[in-house]
Amino acid sequence: MTEIDDDPYLWLEDVTGEQALDWVRARNAETVAELTGGERFGELRDRVREVLDADDRIPYVRRRGEYLYNFWRDAQHPRGLWRRTTLEQYRAPKPEWDVLLDVDALAEAEGENWVWHGANMLRPDYRRGLISLSRGGADATVVREFDLETRQFVEGGFELPEAKTRISWIDLDRVYVGTDTGPGSLTASGYPRVMREWRRGTPVGEAPIAYEGKPEDVAVFAYHDATEGYERDFVGRSMDFYRSERYLRAADGTLTRFEVPDDAQPSVHRDWLLIRTRSPWATGGREYPAGALLAAGFDAYLAGSRELTVLFRPDAHTSLEYYSWTRDHLLLGTLSDVKARLRVLTPGPDGWADEPLPGAPEVGSADIVDTDPDHSNEYFLDTSGYTQPSTLVRGVIGEQAEPIRSAPSFFDSSGIEVTQYFATSDDGTAVPYFVVRPEGAEDGPTMLYGYGGFEVSLTPSYSGSTGRAWLSRGGTYVVANIRGGGEYGPGWHTQAVKAERHLVYEDFAAVAKDLVARGITTPDRLGIQGGSNGGLLMGVMLTRYPELFGAIVCQVPLLDMRRYHKLLAGASWMAEYGDPDEPDEWAFIGEYSPYQNVHSGRDYPPILFVTSTRDDRVHPAHARKMVARMRELGYPVRYHENIEGGHGAAADNEQLAFKTALVFEFLWQQLTRAR
């Protein structure tokens, strides 16, 4: 095992140090020379770029008052346009868009590599916005106040330098803000520890403190609910990734705590408090399971009532994926064996009515992308499947929904079949996975994708890039719904954290073995891909199950689990992985930490590491050090680090097309070569 004091590659943790960047440039040059020289790479990159820049993509919108807002990138506007239109125009084949901000023009005028990170708009008139801009795609942003009527940044308005800031409107002259104001203002994870009530024209560092957490917390938060007749302020802290405390903040600063379990997720809409449980909960003489959704009157609950209505109760096959309010109705997105189903619930004098909401595909995803909870019962629903491009539907509860936009088909899906199978993990658990492949295909190049963490569900959805770069070439695409995700509710996740993390890796290995047992592929033709937490998964597959795979792509990964909590945002993930400074917890982390478990004399499959210098969430040193260690041991490892790009490892469509082509070209070369 490599101990910290013996780590010869700590110098690669210096993100922008010249020695480290020289090393990065040398590795990039090697990989680019090997993978991008052929005509096939250029064609693949261009075909992916066509998908990303296609003019007939769906311009997804968010309603803010009378307008529908959209952020749009294409070949002419690689950094993007922030724009808006009306519903009447949006229904037209070619809507007329009112451009509010051209990020390309702004970047050129200011000499900055701006990447759009969103706009927080002032309710109810939406005339001002707090715009967040990132340099090169990092999580840290610059915040500037924008006037939507003049199309100008407000001179002397709210403005903050680059930081991992949390900011939201109270009214025109006040905001809640948490940012880097000097020592003590951030948590160990690098997020705000102190939220202030900042008034226009005053120094942010002198603004009164609205709430503060502890240094070991992940972050704190504060926000104002401007719903007319229900104006309220809320503050709280996230003690770790899954536990939080939330308070109602009165005008005089008095705090009233939401008395719910720390790991529950409360939310408020008008008269209603909703509570989503993550573990079993006994209260008011009743017991509620993990993964339930409960409703109570907000004022009554804070006054001590524990009269709760169960709006959703999970079972062995069905979980709650998300919920979203319209003004008068609650929309539920559920998963039944990883297939989307929709419900609409309506509170009334006789309780809650519960009816199906039509529109979900038989096998696919169904996502409520926007609602209008302030004013109407409008919703926008996006549906897709592995072979079905997205369809965007606009509906109003109680009325006939209208298809309003359809995405183009980027590859010929005729003859491609989608099948769900179940593998049996080492402990007997049935693990679902989807196989997408040409009918009758056997023993072909196969790409298996996985994530397995943070209760993130992988649902069937359309990818034009994957279709063009893999399926249309005869490849098989597989998605594993392993534990650590949320496909079967919070228990699917919680049973695989910390000391039980091994279940994630056993599940993924079980899917790989099942693919071979069914004759879908062979180990030398099975490639795997994953990023971030999924990159950690790839690292474990490399070091623990190398015989199962013919190639691996490991993107923006965690790999050095001995030091992950000391690098960038890593401390915020200790509820997922454990604390490596605690001997009892390092005992199980050290068993799988890839950086500490790569050794000489092993038959590792070919591997490509992809990361980004500007990733300020998962430190690029994870990948850098792993590559350096493998090179030291004589393994032919490939590496590419985008100097920009943030956690997505790409700052614009050109970079994303290049990265995507690099990944698929590497996998295709390795999995189709003569054996």
- Residue 605 structure tokens: 């499959």
Cβ-based neighbour number of residue 304 at 10 Å: 7
Q: How many CA atoms lie within 13 A of 245 on its CB side?
A: 12
- Residue 608 structure tokens: 């490509």
Q: Please give the Cα distance from 300 to 479 (Å, whole number).
A: 45
Residue (of 531, 567, 546) closest to 659 by Cα position: 531
Choose the catalytic residue: 117, 493, 640, 647.
Answer: 647
Residue pair 510/425 in contact (Cβ under 8 Å)? The answer is yes
Cβ-based neighbour number of residue 600 at 10 Å: 9
Longest distance between any two alpha carbons in the chain, whole Å: 74
The distance from CA 2 to its chain's CA centroid, rounded to whole angstroms, is 31
Residue (of 640, 645, 567) closest to 135 by Cα position: 645
- Residue 132 structure tokens: 């967040």
Residue pair 534/555 in contact (Cβ under 8 Å)? The answer is yes
Hey, which residues does 294 pair with through a beta bridge?
A: 275, 310
Q: Let me know if 329 is a catalytic residue.
A: no
Does an H or E element contain 554, and which?
strand 551-555
Give Cβ neighbours of residue 233 (< 8 Å, ≥ 6 apart).
Answer: 170, 222, 223, 224, 225, 248, 249, 250
Query: In b/e form, how buried is each residue of 143-182, taking b as 16+ CB within 10 angstroms?
Result: bbbbebeeeeeeeeebebebbbbbbbbbeeebbbbbbbbe
Choose the catalytic residue: 532, 572, 593, 612.
Answer: 532
Q: Let me know if 532 is a catalytic residue.
A: yes
Length, in residues, of the chain: 675
CA distances from 224 to 109, 122, 129, 249 (A): 34, 11, 15, 9
Q: Please give the Cα distance from 134 to 160 (Å, whole number).
A: 12
Residue pair 160/180 in contact (Cβ under 8 Å)? The answer is no
Does an H or E element contain 167, and which?
strand 166-171
Residue pair 195/209 in contact (Cβ under 8 Å)? The answer is yes
Give Cβ neighbours of residue 157 (< 8 Å, ≥ 6 apart).
Answer: 144, 145, 200
Nearest-Å Rg of the Cα atoms of the chain is: 25
Does an H or E element contain 498, and which?
none
Active site residues: 532, 647
